[in-house]
Amino acid sequence: MKDKILAPELIERQYEYMARVREWNPDGLKVHVVTFGCQQNEADSERITGMAVEMGYTVTESVEDADLIVINTCAVREHAELKALSITGNFKHLKKKKKSLVIAMCGCMVSQEHRKDRIKHSYPYVDFVFGTTRLYTFPEILFDCLITRERRFYLDAGDEGNIPEGLPVYRASRFKAWVSIMYGCNNFCTYCVVPYVRGRERSRRKEEILKEIEALARDGYREITLLGQNVNSYGKDLYECYDFADLLSDICKIEGNYQLRFMTSHPKDASFKLIDVMAREDKIAKFFHLPLQSGSDRVLTAMNRHYTREHYLSLVRYMREKMPEISLSTDIIVGFPGETEEEFCETLSMLREVRYDNIYSFLYSKRVGTRAAVMEDQIPDDVKADRFERLLALQNEVNLSKNREFVGKTLEILVEGASKTDKSRLTGRSESNRLVHFSGDPSLIGKSVTVKITEADLHALIGELV
Ligand code: 5AD
Ligand code: SF4
């Protein structure tokens, strides 16, 4: 099958533009990137920052100091869109103070026609906008903007589907790394805007992925997370008989002191073969994020999810049989159009049955252009809010009781940094992704330590170094 890698000349051309901007920018102007949304967006922002650094910019945490601001947006729910628009609105006064400031917007929100129009008319201080498939042309677009100072909107799919290899990357962490293994989505879940803004599924070549991971392992990265909208369909567009489970097996042959994670999985494509590989390979964290969305078969059909509650449960049973210690998390949408009280209660009963270690729950948000947006029986906001509260209350009970089971046990923790709530403490995550706070020296950041758990609350475990 034909792969979708961009011709190397197209990437070389961008390196030429990077060199031209660097020449223009001898004083090392400053860049600030704001990121909304999922890990895929975080990974994209690391490429944008990487390209900016290659163009001579230095990274600043302060928007006031920035000469170039890039806002990487999300479109999955309205809330994320409104936040991005509001923060962009706040940057208007910066442009008044510093006329040379360049403001750019990119990502999923701006890849929608109606949002592009709104930015064009209501945010005149935004210099240029580029959609997700244009990310790799950022150097060329920036160069044009610096020279012409004209506003531009680059949203045509252009090289839609093509994968840029070899772009520079500026990783936000020294020990945790994202690796995109594929882009886009073919599933068209009826509530979801992603297939419209990120295009069709396309896999990176396995050789490119393995090369990137070899380099990360050599550089001492401790946690590597493979990213894709539906990692379980990795390779379907590219190989006759090489799938995600095969890719994981091949990655695990790469030596190094790292742990492998992946997201997101789709229950219709998660295979028993994949679970067997997970159970066999020590390098793969015993943690699985498996979005359920709803516990009702009728709602799952209306969502176009292509699995049943029973199929989902069979995956969970098999995982627990093979890996009794596995930790499970999920995504739930509350108030999908037409969801009845009984159907919502089926979601609650799934939570009781599976006893997830964590859930990410969302109020259904109408997305322009999706099938669910025009379905009848949209659920009133107060009903959605009530269901949401009940879902959280139930999960809080499960979380607390699960967290308490850890008191007295010892856990291996990757130390991530100072605790947000108490700067004198360190914080890290266990293999099962549990947040753990403890006292220790900041030199431990980026290292693995053993912690004995002494207390547990709803959101975190507290412990002592042993
Ligand atoms: N409304 C609410 N939640 C949504 N998600 C995706 N689209 C919507 C929407 N329109 C949630 C799903 C998905 C997660 C990333 O975001 O649960 O798994
Ligand atoms: Fe959206 Fe469904 Fe694709 Fe996930 S699998 S990105 S929810 S369409």
pLDDT, tens digit, for every residue of 421-433?
A: 777 899 999 998 9
Q: Which CATH number is 8-154 given?
A: 3.40.50.12160
Residue 350 Cα to ligand 2 midpoint, Å, equals 21
**The CATH number of domain 410-465, selected from 3.90.550.10, 2.40.50.140, 3.30.1310.10, 1.20.1530.20:** 2.40.50.140
Domain ranges of the chain: 8-154, 173-285, 310-404, 410-465
- DSSP, res 420: S
Residues 6+ apart with CB under 8 A from 228: 40, 180, 181, 182, 183, 234, 262, 264
pLDDT by residue (tens digit) across 130-173?
999 899 999 999 999 999 999 999 886 544 567 999 999 999 99
Q: Phi/psi of residue 10, each to 5°?
A: -70, -35
CA-closest residue to ligand 1 atom 14 = 331
Residue 192 Cα to ligand 2 midpoint, Å, equals 6
Asked whether the beta carbons of 412 and 430 are under 8 A apart, the reply is yes
Closest CA to 68 of 38, 44, 98: 98
Pocket of ligand 2 contains residue 194 by CB under 6 Å: yes
- DSSP, res 205: P
What are residue 328's DSSP bridge partners? Answer: 288
Among the bound ligands, name the one nearest to the CA of residue 187.
2
Closest CA to 179 of 212, 215, 220, 135: 212
d(CA 152, CA 137): 13
- The class (CATH top level) of 173-285 is alpha beta
HSE (side-chain half, CA atoms, 13 Å) at 407? 10
Take residue 151 and report the two structure tokens written for it: 């506003």
pLDDT at 6: 86
CA-closest residue to ligand 1 atom 2 = 364
Level-2 CATH architecture, domain 310-404: 2-Layer Sandwich (3.30)
d(CA 248, CA 262): 10
Q: Do domains 173-285 and 310-404 have the same CATH topology?
A: yes
d(CA 75, CA 106): 11
Pocket of ligand 2 contains residue 231 by CB under 6 Å: no
Helices marked H in 226-271: 244-252
**Across 244-252, average pLDDT:** 98
d(CA 226, CA 249): 13
pTM of the predicted structure, to 2 decimals: 0.95
pLDDT at 156: 66
